[in-house]
Chains A and B, each alone.
Chain A
Amino acid sequence: MEEDQMKSVPVKSSEITPEHIFLNRRQFLKAMGITGAAAVLAACSMDGEVASTATAPAAAAPDAGEPLPENLTDELGDAANSYEEITNYNNYYEFTVVKQDVAPMSKDFPLSPWTVEVGGLVNNPRTFGIEDILKLFPQEERIYRLRCVEAWSMVIPWEGFPLSALLKEVEPQSNARFVAFQTVNNPDKMPGQRAKFYPWPYDEGLRLDEAMNDLTILATGMYGKPLLMQNGAPIRLVVPWKYGFKSIKSIVKIDLVADEPKTFWSNIAPDEYGFYANVNPEVSHPRWSQATERRIGETARRKTLMFNGYAEEVAAMYADMDLRVYY
């Protein structure tokens, strides 16, 4: 059962939280500085599963180093990239444009307290503390391909929950047609945000139907551990059929809006990075081809798949659109 759950995408939320996700939350609470019996009780109640406490204490200390899950594959049978690969090769321009330097530069970024303000055209605007989010929304594992617009890709085992669950909580109004997201703005701790020529802070957007699609998740963990800053801690968007830059990191604000929102990269180069940015081997970036990609860890190139291999789940949303125009 658990193996099926890991392999199939999309995954329906399971009633039983896998143990590493349970531990994940506990580590997260510890990392947030919430310690003691109250935290343990809270961690128990959020699972509603007393049996888990038996295994929790020994492994729950931060960096207890419980072994990472092995042999994870996506639904196409491709192996997940290693934890090392995923945490040491990151595009996070708020820190630096040098991918291998993001991890060391972001390791002391303060993740607590952290709130996500959800508002705009909704009936119940609300500011969630990150611990509320972990409590309210059951976390599940989603093993997704991530295809960067720079033509490399990885397979990543995320933990998170459908964005639709959060949106339902705030009740979008009928005139809300798009969702706008914003990354934390902290130039003191993010040297890249002091760099000129970029329209900081980073913002992104989705059409409401894209946001409600079951593949679209807010991720809070990876490989059974809380997200690290270089991967977008404590909470990030993951939209696996779009180029990586759409999957905005370290979110502090989500707004439901009527008009297509401005997005970071399309502000910088509107001819090159569109609002939709669906992975599409047929529509090249104006300067370089998108027909192939390199899976990190492999030498030979692979053919890039339409909608990054998720056409079955998402193609219908774009049936009437010319994807050369709406790139």
Chain B
Amino acid sequence: MKNFKITWLNALTHVGALIPLLVLVRDYYADNLTVNWIQAVEQRTGFIALNLLVLSLASTPVQTLTGYRPVHYIRRPLGVWAFAYALLHFLVFSVIDYGWDWSLLKEAIFEKPYALVGFLTLLILTPLAATSWKWWKKKLGKGWKKLHQAVYAAGILVIIHYSWAVKGTVLGLQGDIVLPLTYGLIVALLLVMRLPAVKKQIIRWRMDFQGWMQTRRGLTG
């Protein structure tokens, strides 16, 4: 039964992660991406990657909070899909937008912090996606977990990348910052919920709550 649940959740994750790409393709052919369609595709693929990465980071805290174990198993597919969209985002930027013009790309990526941080995020996600298979997990043993904790750094960098892409200053609370700020707070919360002490406390509360619910049910039923 448990395995069936996991398979079902997995399938749902893959289908769900594919839908935004299909919508993007539909919008492209429906001429629904504004007259600056290259930028629209860049922004869309980046935003999808961000959301999938945040969902991937949310898997463990959701499990901590609810005790629902199958959630844990969609962490990897969500992470791999986040990488796929991030790679697409980078390819649109470098191949379509910059026409693979190395001198322009060099300036855009290495001389300006906004693109550099995005590029670093992709660099971090690449080995994680490459070693996401069971075979690698076995081969790397304890090192696998260590390596994959790098996703926390990716989570922080992607927020910086996002807040630097908008017109405004997130730290100064000025400008077009509501979304970057919201995502930043969510990622911060998801990381804090991983701290052992916090995690323990949440589990304690959950147990208390579940116990309370059980006694309540016992009393009324």
Contact B173 A197 (CB under 8 A): yes
Contact A301 B167 (CB under 8 A): no
Measured CA separation A197–B176 after assembly (Å)? 8
Contact B174 A197 (CB under 8 A): yes
- Answer yes or no: B99 CB below 8 A from chain A CBs: yes
Contact B34 A99 (CB under 8 A): yes
Contact B36 A301 (CB under 8 A): no
Distance in Å: Cβ of A237 to nearest Cβ of chain B: 19
Contact B34 A100 (CB under 8 A): yes
Please, which residues of chain B bring their CB within 8 A of the CB of A150?
Answer: 167
- Answer yes or no: B195 CB below 8 A from chain A CBs: no
Please, which residues of chain B bring their CB within 8 A of the CB of A268?
Answer: 167-169, 172, 174-175
- Answer yes or no: A97 CB below 8 A from chain B CBs: yes
- Answer yes or no: A297 CB below 8 A from chain B CBs: yes
- Answer yes or no: B108 CB below 8 A from chain A CBs: yes
Contact B176 A97 (CB under 8 A): yes
Contact B35 A301 (CB under 8 A): no
Q: Mark A286-306, 1 if CB is under 8 A from B, else 0.
A: 111101101011011100000
Partner of A288, one of B38, B112, B175, B178: B112
- Chain B contact patch, size range: 20 to 34
Distance in Å: Cβ of A266 to nearest Cβ of chain B: 11
Q: Contacts A197-B178, A294-B38; is A301 near B99 (CB within 8 Å)?
A: yes
Contact B39 A294 (CB under 8 A): yes
- Answer yes or no: B208 CB below 8 A from chain A CBs: no
Contact B36 A197 (CB under 8 A): no
Contact B36 A296 (CB under 8 A): yes
Contact B97 A289 (CB under 8 A): no
Contact B112 A284 (CB under 8 A): yes
Measured CA separation A313–B178 after assembly (Å)? 40
- Answer yes or no: B122 CB below 8 A from chain A CBs: no
Please, which residues of chain A bring their CB within 8 A of the CB of B173?
Answer: 197
Q: Contacts A269-B172, A269-B175; is A301 near B34 (CB within 8 Å)?
A: no
Please, which residues of chain A bring their CB within 8 A of the CB of B34?
Answer: 88-89, 99-100
Contact A152 B36 (CB under 8 A): yes
Contact B35 A85 (CB under 8 A): yes
A interface residues with partner B (beta carbon < 8 Å): 84-85, 88-89, 93, 97, 99-100, 149-150, 152, 195-199, 265, 267-269, 272, 284, 286-289, 291-292, 294, 296-297, 299-301
